Amino acid sequence: MKTLWLLVLSLVIFGCTTFGTKNTKVDANVICIWGTQQFDLCQYKTQEQMIDALLLVMNLDEKIGQMTQSIWHNNVSPEIVRDKRIGSIIHTEGPTPGPNAMDWVNKFNEFQASALQTRLGIPLLIAVDAVHGQNTFEGAVIFPHNIGMAATRNMSLIKHAAQITALEVAGTGFNWTFSPCIAMPQHEHWGRVYEGYTEDRDLTTAAVIASVQGHQGTSLAHRDTVAATAKHFIGDGATDGGVEGGNAIMTDQVMREHYLPPYTAAVNEGVASIMVGFNSYNGHNMHQHTHLVTDVLKGELGFEGVVVSDWNGGLRFGDPHTVINAGIDIAMQPGNHNEFMAKLKASVLDQTVPMSRIDDAVRRILTMKFNLGLFSDPFAKKEFAKSVGSPAHRAVARQAVRESLVLLKSDNDALPLSSSDSIAVIGKHGNNSGLQSGGWSIHWQGQTENYRGATTIYDGIKAQGMHVEYAEQGCYPDMLASKAVVVVGEFPYAEALGDSDELWLSDAHKKLITGCKSLGKKVIVILISGRVLAISEDLDKSDAFIAAWLPGSEGAGVADFLFATNGFKPTGKSPYSWPVAVTDIPLAPNADHELFKFGYGLQDY
């Protein structure tokens, strides 16, 4: 690290100027001299003048580099970032920089140092899909997925969780997160239901405001904030049949009344970026939808930030000009940046893509980098590395867990548990932090093993009960426990691999419930799932039933709920309506034949 900082000091001298963001005005020390050309920013008085000056001296390759994002471990190295003038990198599934937060900070600082060695030394955006905490780093706090956060109905808690996520994202070397997802899923077959908050427009709108405020604070230039991303614009959760990347069919009136307001709120909050979806809108792919991206989002809503593609978005749907001309500013290219950059350059040279479109994109990107304070201090905020996974952060996530649980049934004095009860925790999900966390947890598709720093549901119950056993295979004759906490549900999934027609408990999990009931136990079912399922039969065979969603790393929060710790009473309310049968899906929010209505949740045991 000493060598790295000597490099920086050799490249820069410090000056001071004043510049503003959309939300606030900040005084910041701006590094004056940049890159091997020794470009002097301090000869200009305002941020806008600095950006104009950079645009004036940038060549086409440098501009296209700013519009390109690649994966740091996939055909990219610090040297390639320098030589190709790539403006943005991401971390995703694959190798990690190491087991410790400082390993990540040091690795991404290497990439940043290389970016500073380019002709103009423009710093990097370094991004991650931190969608429920810094979920790519083993040892970070992983919050409940958004479906659970919405169940809390606690906007201050959603904001606080985003603030902690920002600290842990910054503390592992990043300055940009692809969160929050503000899809309003309408179809439980979709494998990304849990990434959205709810099917309800107004609750989604409130949640996105809280999340953006938490991630970005009052200024992106503050050290404890990161850039947020509202995604996936627009209608990603409304595709026909709930198919990932499918076609969302609706009238413009429905789009404007139901799906656009959360994005309007995000723009009004100054969200730094918006990611377009893989889906189509009435047959027209969103990555190529000039009217919705340029005319509506940038024009009508006045969005001044960066529009980023989804995975391989610059090439997935055809030549780059089709998405760049539609209004995409940064293309996420996983290891195929050379092809994207070459094809985009050819399209500019033959005037298929006007230079004005390139300049607009680069201006937005540079503005985001200035607003993040990267022209003042481009390196990772290593002071936050020590707080990643801290007890204070875990306490907030534990609160989020207990407030997110929705009590669907409570009979026969099964709840709350007492520390003197004889209790059995049943099922693999009951003692496995990977299973309780779902997709986007350590790995893209999640994992089926425990991970560092997390507590399982069994861990939490054992810490509060005096007579607790764990029986993965189910209840058995002569079992001493009188109460069985049966933990069942879905196995982790993400994106297209999560699309499913089997929206019910497996036969093996049903057997865990009936097996305990047949032995005379009081059965408390904990359902781990990323969406509502058809549970009518299982509900009938239980004494208490709790929708726990995907609680994340703090399984002890489930125990707090079960034991009514410190006088806790259930607060969670369902963010979705529940079907009686799978054939009822998709279920209208106010249908007459619901098992449970939107907002249902018992508020006492």
pLDDT per position as a tens digit, 78-112: 999 999 999 999 999 999 999 999 999 999 999 99
Terminal Cα distance for the chain, rounded: 55
User: pLDDT value at position 589?
Assistant: 75
Q: Which residues are catalytic?
A: 310, 495
**Which fold would CATH assign to domain 33-384?**
TIM Barrel (3.20.20)
Mean pLDDT in residue range 332-355 = 97
Contact 119, 83 (CB under 8 A): no
Sheet holding 544-549: strands in order across? 406-410, 544-549, 522-528, 483-489, 422-426, 467-471
Q: Residue 579 pLDDT more than 50?
A: yes
Separation between Cα atoms, residue 400 and residue 48, nearest integer Å? 41
Q: Residue 360 pLDDT more than 90?
A: yes
- Those residues with Cβ within 8 angstroms of residue 541's Cβ, 6 or more apart along the chain or in another chain: 513, 514, 517, 523
User: pLDDT value at position 53?
Assistant: 98
pLDDT tens digit string along 522-563?
Answer: 999 999 999 999 999 999 999 999 999 999 999 999 999 999
| Overall pTM surpassing 0.75 (yes/no) | yes
% residues pLDDT > 90 (the chain): 94
In three-state secondary structure terms, 207 is helix
Amino acid of residue 124: L
User: pLDDT value at position 28?
Assistant: 55
DSSP conformation class of 123: P
Q: In the chain, where are the structural domains located?
A: 33-384, 405-596
Q: What average pLDDT does the structure give for the chain?
A: 95
pLDDT tens digit string along 256-300?
Answer: 999 999 999 999 999 999 999 999 999 999 999 999 999 999 999
Q: Residue 20 pLDDT more than 90?
A: no
Q: Residue 440 pLDDT more than 90?
A: yes
Q: Per-residue b/e over 291-327, b at no fewer than 16 CB within 10 Å?
A: ebbbebbbeebebebbbbbbebbbbbbebbbbbbbbb
Helix boundaries (H) for 191-302: 201-216, 252-254, 260-268, 290
Cα–Cα separations (whole angstroms), residue 432 to 194, 307, 354, 488, 526: 19, 38, 53, 11, 13
Mean pLDDT in residue range 573-583 = 96
Q: Which CATH architecture has domain 405-596?
A: 3-Layer(aba) Sandwich (3.40)
Strand-pair partners of 28: 17
Q: Residue 25 pLDDT more than 90?
A: no
Largest Cα–Cα separation, the chain: 82
The phi and psi torsions of 270 (rounded to 5 degrees) equal 80, 30
pLDDT tens digit string along 209-249?
Answer: 999 999 999 999 999 999 999 999 999 999 999 999 999 99
Helix H or strand E encompassing 28: strand 25-31
Contact 200, 589 (CB under 8 A): yes
pLDDT tens digit string along 404-426?
Answer: 999 999 999 999 999 999 999 99
Separation between Cα atoms, residue 142 and residue 441, nearest integer Å? 8
